[in-house]
């Protein structure tokens, strides 16, 4: 498994080695040893799954301490543009984001540590998104940012407004948020 680090400290993209033959494809989608060696050393306590149609945007979400979550995200089907926004107030990259195109075909995995908001845009119908979390979902700790905050300047790569939940449509902008990290 290959690990790629980004300019925003803590974010890692893992790309597994795919083994294919006429029967199909096999790959290792999780290795605690390899991921910890690259800096993604978490105890995962919850797995989540969502299915989205093309154009659905979920996020940008996070959980505040004491239930802050690191996430390990990948796709079982489809493609998605995955985005992490640095919310660590003392970070030199506070307010910056990193985008990664996830693909079930490539099997790539994105590690997002505590201190980031996270969201994704489904690029294909029936996109099946899988993610591990380092803490349990805790509604009183949940928070989020507007996906279209001009201060974040995220290029979602779409000319058509994505489909977002009513809850996500009214999230605050970064300038309105008191950083929880």
Residues for the chain: how many in total?
181
- Give me Rg for the CA atoms of the chain: 16
Q: How far is residue 100's CA from residue 79's CA, in Å, rounded to a whole number?
A: 10
Q: How far is residue 8's CA from residue 11's CA, in Å, rounded to a whole number?
A: 6
Residues annotated as part of the active site:
61, 131
Phi first, then psi, for residue 139 (nearest 5°) are -50, -40
Q: How far is residue 14's CA from residue 74's CA, in Å, rounded to a whole number?
A: 10
With beta carbons less than 8 A apart as the criterion, state whether 55 and 162 touch. yes
With beta carbons less than 8 A apart as the criterion, state whether 149 and 59 touch. no
Phi first, then psi, for residue 171 (nearest 5°) are -65, 155
- Which of 87, 86, 122, 99 is closest to 13 using CA atoms? 99
């Amino acid at each position: 498994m290959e690990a790629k680090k980004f300019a925003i400290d803590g974010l890692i993209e893992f790309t597994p080695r795919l083994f294919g033959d006429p029967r199909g494809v096999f790959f290792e989608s999780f290795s605690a040893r390899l991921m910890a060696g690259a800096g993604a050393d978490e105890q995962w306590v919850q797995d989540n799954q969502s299915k989205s149609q093309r154009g659905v945007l979920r996020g940008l979400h996070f959980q505040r301490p004491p239930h802050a979550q690191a996430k390990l995200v990948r796709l079982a089907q489809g493609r998605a543009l995955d985005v992490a926004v640095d919310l660590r107030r003392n970070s030199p990259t506070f307010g910056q984001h990193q985008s990664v195109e996830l693909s079930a075909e490539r099997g790539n995995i994105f590690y997002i540590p505590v201190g980031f908001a996270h969201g994704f845009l489904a690029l294909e119908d029936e996109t099946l998104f899988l993610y591990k979390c380092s803490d349990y979902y805790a509604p009183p700790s949940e928070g989020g940012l507007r996906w279209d905050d001009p201060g974040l300047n995220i290029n979602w790569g779409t000319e058509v407004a994505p489909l977002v939940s009513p809850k996500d449509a009214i999230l605050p902008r970064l300038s309105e948020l008191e950083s929880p990290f």
